[in-house]
Amino acid sequence: MTDFTDILKTAHQTRDYDPVVGAIPYANLIGLEFQRFGNDVIFKLPNNEDNVGNPILPAVHGGVVGGFMELSAALHLLMMLDTPAMPKIVDFSLDYLRAARGGKDTFAECQVIRQGSRVANVIINAWQNKRDEAVATARAHFLLAP
């Protein structure tokens, strides 16, 4: 069995982060995917009936949206900063702006606002149909590995 640290080290060398995502059980549970465009990354939460929390609307469960956004931010830091370990969440503030409808894919984009030697601040925006019509926005602070 390969250690997560080894998977991460190999990913930093090869720039292939699919094995990292594959090694995270929650990412597999919700179906998290990503696509890189140079230094930009778009994260995707594919339509999945198991992620629906309100079947009447239907809408993706708010906890799934929040978990997707938090995990996207941590993975973004792993990819962009070549951190030797998974960043640890310090603070996460999430604003739900509209329902993330079931039957649609949800996307997230992250932006590192400030990076120090120990802490990084990230803004995360999630949307479905149009990037400028966010379903949620969040701010996260992560403790970086020394």
* Domains and their CATH numbers in the chain: 4-143 (3.10.129.10)
Which residue in 142, 15, 33 sits closest to 86, CA to CA? 142
Tell me the C-alpha distance between 18 and 115, whole Å.
24
The pTM score is 0.94
Tell me the C-alpha distance between 58 and 64, whole Å.
14
| pLDDT on residue 145 | 79
How many C-beta atoms lie closer than 10 Å to residue 86's C-beta? Answer: 19
Which residue type occupies 146? P
The proportion of the chain whose per-residue pLDDT surpasses 70, expressed as a percent, equals 99
| pLDDT on residue 136 | 98
Three-state secondary-structure class, residue 86: coil
